[in-house]
């Protein structure tokens, strides 16, 4: 297409330039080469050229006017450089912490070795399991200097467990922790973030522990982007869990210096669109930095719905310092989900997800997003919450309703389920049992949580007799990933390694970004250039 009057910055001469949409489209993937946007002299078609020679106007004969020069584009450069510098990662890519150990030590190690930052899925595990997972990761990565982290989930029903896990991280030198599902701050998360804060000889604050925070609401983001609350810090000092110097320095830094905007994701989510939520949280970050005069950078990353290169590229275009993937990693070879569960995920479409009551926050009415296709978990869990809201205890349930629960959902008498539930909480959180003995409604909630808790474990172990009760945390990113990978080697679950998933998303995001750069420079870039297809990389 001829366009007259476009300003030139010089001239270019060399081999034939790509002028047609088809040839331009096939050249878009050459992201690691300097690209020249050229125009046939004197005012002809605009095209794309590589190599050759750039000369100043008037110096020698040149067939093309030079309109722009695009430098090489690498996946490593898509995000914020400070993320790579602070955390020692190669890529601005985080492999999220799928709970109940689904984000296994092997998954975390694989992410670290390919240049990403992975988080161990400690949520839902007892301290003993968490400690064993940490030891496994530390042993595999010993001496490598590669970054990794673990999850700290808000546990309003089990604050002692949250404290115990935070203590484990401090004792074992876990330098990166991702806080998730927080609605308010707790002493445990503040203690982790503030521990070890010190000032160097130049007065610059150094922090050994890096807190990531997943947020999906502005009011929660403000808490993590602000300095730690003084009353919590004072309480920690009085209990001897922080020094006075650590508490004082905590008043000059953001509680979390990596805040992940979690949009429509699997698990705990508010189902918000990233395009609306991210700019709002980024503005809160900017205001917090200005108001508090932070000397250290505070980054905002993006998560939720990131299952294709275009989605990842879109997140970076919004200004994300890094991206975090979650749902799609459950389908990875290294994840702790059963082969049966992974096969179910491989069949999921974008709309094959729904919301269901959360096991850890059942009584608060909190919900999580789960896989709907192939399982009846969501419908059965919703029915349990409806009964919890309607009746005062198990004894109040209508006889027919009780019989249906025992035969279809629990597959055992409710008294037997309570015996198992009581035994579990006597070991994990004894005060819950005492409360249940006084409060029939709380006893009913614990019994219903038995089903909600075991449903995810059935999916992890692959108990096919319980397939209809599998609880698999999943957002629409999984269906988008399946559609994108259909017909390629990544369609096969056995090929879905953490490295291949991450490298293809990042490489594809760089290609999509380059395609948009070229289109905005006036080139007739075909739509096919935005459709990067998976291939074996690495």
Q: Encode 120-176 in three state secondary structure.
A: ECCCCCCHHHHHHHHHHHHHHHCCCCCCCEEEEECCCCCHHHHHHHHHHHHHCCCCE
Cα separation, 144 vs 90, in Å, equals 14
The pLDDT value given to residue 57: 63
Mean pLDDT score, 308-315: 98
The pLDDT value given to residue 156: 84
- In this structure, what is the dihedral angle of CA atoms 391, 181, 271, 257, given to the nearest 10 degrees? 160
CB 92 within 8 A of CB 79: yes
What is the DSSP-derived secondary structure letter of residue 407? Answer: I
The pLDDT value given to residue 1: 47
The pLDDT value given to residue 59: 56
- Report percent pLDDT > 70 for the chain: 98
DSSP string, 187-250: HHHHHHHHTT-EE-TTS-EE-S-EEEEEESSHHHHHHHHSPPPHHHHHHHHHTTSS-HHHHHHH
Cα separation, 410 vs 417, in Å, equals 8
Q: What is the pLDDT of residues 209-258, one digit of tens each?
A: 999 999 999 999 999 999 999 999 999 999 999 999 999 999 999 999 99
| Spacing of C-alpha 157 from chain mean position | 24
- The b-or-e profile of 85-111 (16+ CB within 10 A means b, else e) is ebbebebbbbbbbbbbbbbbbbbbbbb
Residue 428 pLDDT level (bands cut at 50, 70, 90) = confident
Cα separation, 103 vs 151, in Å, equals 10
Residue 2 pLDDT level (bands cut at 50, 70, 90) = low
The pLDDT value given to residue 104: 98
Q: What is the pLDDT of residues 461-501, one digit of tens each?
A: 999 999 999 999 999 999 999 999 999 999 999 999 999 99
The pLDDT value given to residue 158: 83
- Nearest of 239, 130, 154 to residue 194 by alpha carbon: 239
Domains in the chain: boundaries: 1-72, 76-337, 342-469
Q: Which fold has domain 76-337?
A: TIM Barrel (3.20.20)
Cα separation, 269 vs 263, in Å, equals 7
CB 451 within 8 A of CB 380: yes
Q: What is the pLDDT of residues 118-171, one digit of tens each?
A: 999 999 999 999 999 999 999 999 999 999 999 999 988 788 899 999 999 999
Residue 63 pLDDT > 90, yes or no? no
Q: What is the pLDDT of residues 322-378, one digit of tens each?
A: 999 999 999 999 999 999 999 999 999 999 999 999 998 899 999 999 999 999 999
Q: What is the pLDDT of residues 163-203, one digit of tens each?
A: 999 999 999 999 999 999 999 999 999 999 999 999 999 99
Mean pLDDT score, 23-34: 96
- Nearest of 369, 486, 488, 505 to residue 78 by alpha carbon: 505
- Report percent pLDDT > 90 for the chain: 91
Cα separation, 146 vs 535, in Å, equals 26
- Quote the tokens at residue 123: 């949520």
């Amino acid at each position: 297409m001829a366009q007259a009057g476009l300003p030139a910055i010089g001239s270019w001469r060399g081999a034939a330039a790509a002028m047609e949409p088809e040839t331009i489209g096939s050249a878009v993937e050459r992201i690691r080469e300097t690209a020249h946007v050229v125009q046939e002299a004197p005012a002809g078609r605009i095209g794309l050229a590589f190599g050759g020679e750039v000369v100043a106007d008037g110096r020698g004969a040149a067939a093309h006017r030079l309109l722009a020069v695009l430098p090489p584009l690498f996946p490593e450069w898509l995000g914020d450089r400070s993320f790579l510098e602070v955390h020692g990662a190669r890529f601005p890519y985080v492999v999220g912490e799928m709970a109940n150990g689904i984000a296994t030590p092997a998954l975390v190690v694989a992410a670290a070795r390919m240049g990403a930052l992975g988080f161990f899925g400690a949520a839902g595990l007892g301290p003993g399991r968490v400690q064993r997972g940490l030891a496994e990761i530390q042993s595999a990565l010993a001496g490598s200097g590669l970054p990794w982290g673990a999850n700290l989930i808000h546990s309003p029903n089990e604050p002692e467990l949250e404290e115990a896990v935070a203590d484990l991280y401090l004792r074992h030198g876990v330098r990166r922790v991702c806080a998730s599902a927080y609605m308010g701050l707790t002493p445990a998360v503040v203690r982790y973030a503030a521990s070890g804060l010190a000032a160097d000889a130049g007065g610059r604050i150094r922090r050994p522990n890096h807190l990531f925070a997943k947020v999906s609401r502005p009011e929660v983001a403000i808490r993590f982007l602000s300095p730690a609350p003084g009353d919590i810090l004072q309480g920690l000092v009085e209990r001897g869990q922080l020094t006075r110097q650590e508490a004082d320095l905590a008043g000059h830094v953001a509680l979390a210096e990596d805040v992940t905007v979690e949009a429509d994701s699997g698990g705990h989510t508010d189902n918000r669109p990233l395009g609306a939520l991210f700019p709002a949280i980024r503005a809160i970050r900017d205001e917090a930095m200005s108001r508090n005069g932070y000397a250290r950078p505070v980054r905002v990353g993006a998560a939720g719905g990131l299952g294709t290169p275009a989605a990842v590229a879109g997140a970076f275009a919004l200004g994300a310092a890094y991206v975090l993937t979650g749902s799609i990693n459950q389908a990875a070879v290294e994840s702790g989900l059963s082969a049966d569960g992974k096969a179910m995920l491989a069949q999921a479409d974008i709309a094959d997800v729904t919301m269901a009551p959360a096991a850890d926050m059942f009584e608060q009415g909190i919900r999580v997003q789960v896989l709907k296709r192939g399982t009846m978990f969501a419908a059965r869990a919703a029915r349990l919450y409806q009964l919890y809201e309607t009746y005062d205890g198990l004894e109040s349930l209508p006889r027919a309703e009780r019989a249906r629960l025992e035969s279809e959902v629990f597959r055992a008498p409710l008294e037997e389920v309570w015996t198992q539930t009581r035994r579990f909480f006597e070991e994990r959180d004894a005060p819950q049992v005492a409360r249940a003995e006084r409060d029939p409604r709380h006893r009913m909630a614990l019994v219903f949580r038995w089903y909600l808790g075991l449903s995810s474990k059935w999916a992890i172990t692959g108990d096919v007799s319980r397939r209809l009760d599998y609880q698999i945390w999943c957002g629409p990113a999984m269906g988008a990933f399946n559609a994108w990978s259909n017909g390629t080697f990544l369609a096969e679950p056995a090929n879905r390694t953490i490295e291949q998933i991450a490298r293809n998303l990042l490489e594809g995001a760089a290609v999509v970004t380059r395609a948009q750069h070229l289109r905005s420079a006036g080139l007739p870039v075909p739509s096919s250039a935005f459709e990067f297809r998976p291939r074996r990389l690495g």
